[in-house]
Structure 1
Amino acid sequence: MIRYLPYLLLLGLLGCATTPPAAFYTLSPGLAAPGTVIPLTLGLTLSEFPEALDRPQLMLRSGENRLDIQELHRWAAPLEGQVRRVLRENLARLTQSPRVETHPWPTDFHPERQIRLAVSRFDGRHGATADLQARWSLHTADGTLILSRTATYSEPAGKSIETLVAAQNRLLERLAVEIGGSMRSEE
């Protein structure tokens, strides 16, 4: 029995060790001042989003072709849904549109302008930058293309996961400002 004592002590110590609790993060709308009123209803469709990023854990880019999973840093809700919600809220505030909905929109809603968005990158490097790459297009109610653009943004990410998420918020705000600005110039 005495010869097993070190193993029993080790098992006891391992039993006392605890894993730190997971931290949960959420994206939030930006604070940019509203622009000129755009009296059009807007429909937003997020047609593409990287599957590798739409998971509970945050993913950090550690190389051009490598993402590292952060087990103890998690999204409070699915990332794709958060991106869709924050863009809708940013666009509603920035354009002061009478109504902004995300696809699939309610049956009683027929947007006068449709925004179609394909996100190809929305991640970051710890202590470096948060990055967003997307293609978006603006269409009339009947689907006629008005314009199409590519957006590539980077924001300083700071040294913590919290500052990285804040940088991702700023990226979504910049994208909403670009989209809203294109609608003002279209009028």
Structure 2
Amino acid sequence: MRSFLLPALLIALSSIGGCSTSPRSAFYTLSAAPPLEGAPATTPPISIAIDAVTVPELVDRPQFVLRTGETQVTIDEYARWADPLRSQISRVLAADLARAVPGALVSGFAQHLESTEAYRVRVDVQNFESARGEMAAIVVLWSVRPPKGATITGQTIAHEPASAPSYDALVDAHSRALATVSNDIAGAIRSTIGP
């Protein structure tokens, strides 16, 4: 009788264990601000190239890194960026700059050929904080090198509330924070364009 019970027990335990599945991963992307309607284009059109974007090593990973306390973070294995955060930031900044400087030709990838007519933008993300259900915050040092004249540098600190405890709301807050960065960079670019 014992020899029959042991295999039956093992089959029952394996079928119970087989029913449990791990959560499915969800993938997220940052998004650009909506385009401005009827904004006048710059004449003549200017070229803007985002040469480099750096992000802190802590968040340079597919998983979301969430702030849970003053000195503690958690890494969520099931909430992930769809592509590298550095690439997403570059893409969103390029789209936001194209919106903020109408008519500009903006490239989100480093150009190997040195164009003397392009505005060169470098972005160093110093801090990229995520607190689900609370806020998204970023601190960015940036520089704009115009075709003529001195390089303009600046720092943008953006803190956006999350409208809900979902990851969608957190990603939306980060997208709004990046729009603030783009607006500051666009302001620096516009300041060098003559009337």
Q: Under a length normalisation based on structure 2, what TM-score does the superposition of the two structures give?
A: 0.84
Equivalent residue runs for 1:97-116 within 5 Å: 97-105=103-111, 107=113, 109-116=115-122
TM-superposed CA distance for 1:140, in Å, is: 2.2
Match of 1:155 in 2: 160
* Equivalent residue, structure 1, for 2:146: 140
The Cα RMSD (Å) is 2.3
- Pairing 1:37–2:41 present: yes
How far 1:105 moved relative to its partner?
A: 1.1
1:21 alignment partner AA: R
Task: Give TM-score, length-normalised by structure 1.
Answer: 0.87
Report the equivalent of 2:192: 186
| Alignment pair present for 1:51 and 2:57 | yes
Q: Residues 67 and 144 of structure 1: is their aligned pair in 2 closer, same or farther, counting only changes over 3 Å? A: same
Percent identity of equivalent pairs: 31
In the alignment, is residue 88 of structure 1 matched against residue 84 of structure 2? no
SS of 1:52's equivalent? helix
Distance 2:10 2:119 in 1: 69
**How far 1:22 sits from its partner (Å)?**
1.0
Q: Would you say 1:12 and 2:15 are equivalent positions? A: yes
Choose from 15, 19, 24 the match for 1:21: 24
Gaps of 5+ in 2: none
Q: Which moved more, 1:107-116 or 1:58-67?
A: 107-116
Inter-partner Cα distance in structure 2 for 1:143 and 1:43: 17
Structure 1 spans left out of the alignment, 5+ residues: none
Q: How many residues get paired?
A: 186
Deviation at 1:109, TM superposition (A): 4.5
* 1:119 corresponds to: 125
Letter in 2 for 1:148: T
Judge conservation of contact 2:90–2:109 (CA < 8 Å) in 1.
no
